[in-house]
Amino acid sequence: MEAVVVIDILEDFVTGELKCERAKGIIPNIKKLIEVARKKNFPVIYSNDAHLPTDFELKKWGKHAMRGTRGAEVISQLKPSKDDIVLEKRVYSGFFETGLDSVLRNLKVDTLVLTGLHTNMCVRHTAADAFFRGYRIVVPQDATEAFTEKDYKEGLEYLKNVYNAEITDTNKIVKRWEKK
Ligand code: ZN
């Protein structure tokens, strides 16, 4: 079973405190992926920063995606639907103290399609933890972004070289799913 993971497509990362100008371009592709996944009954999982004021990560980045604020909400174009799973995280990895692993195991998921922000940070750390736990990793390169082209490119290379991620694109995944 495959699941789509949507990482940090939150107001603060797309429009607010830690805005990534390049994020806009990937929104239609993530939308396409989650719509087809829902239609095919593949789990759609949101992995969202939801920081507490005591979080260590804020020392590096300043306040962002603070739990309960608008900045921590998923952007309006990609709002979760009622059957999606929404998990809060407080560090880069979507696995760290979030319960994601048991959710995936209960759903018999063995492959993660990782999307969202940023290729070289939260996507990378989520991929690391997925790899350690034996999940196969697929990354549609037109559904993830980073602050700069360099960060994005290096992020993808790292995912491929270190976590054996299949780097592909949205249309190829959608086409494959539609045949299932
Ligand atoms: Zn954060």
Q: Summarize pLDDT for 60-101 with one digit per residue, the tens.
A: 999 999 999 999 999 999 999 999 999 999 999 999 999 999
pTM over 0.95: yes
Q: How much distance in Å is there from the Cα of 61 to the middle of ligand 1?
A: 7
Residues, CB within 5 angstroms of ligand 1 (ion):
49, 57
The band of 17, judged by pLDDT with boundaries at 50, 70 and 90, is confident
Q: How much distance in Å is there from the Cα of 63 to the middle of ligand 1?
A: 8
For range 108-124, the mean pLDDT: 97
130 with 165: CB under 8 angstroms?
Answer: no
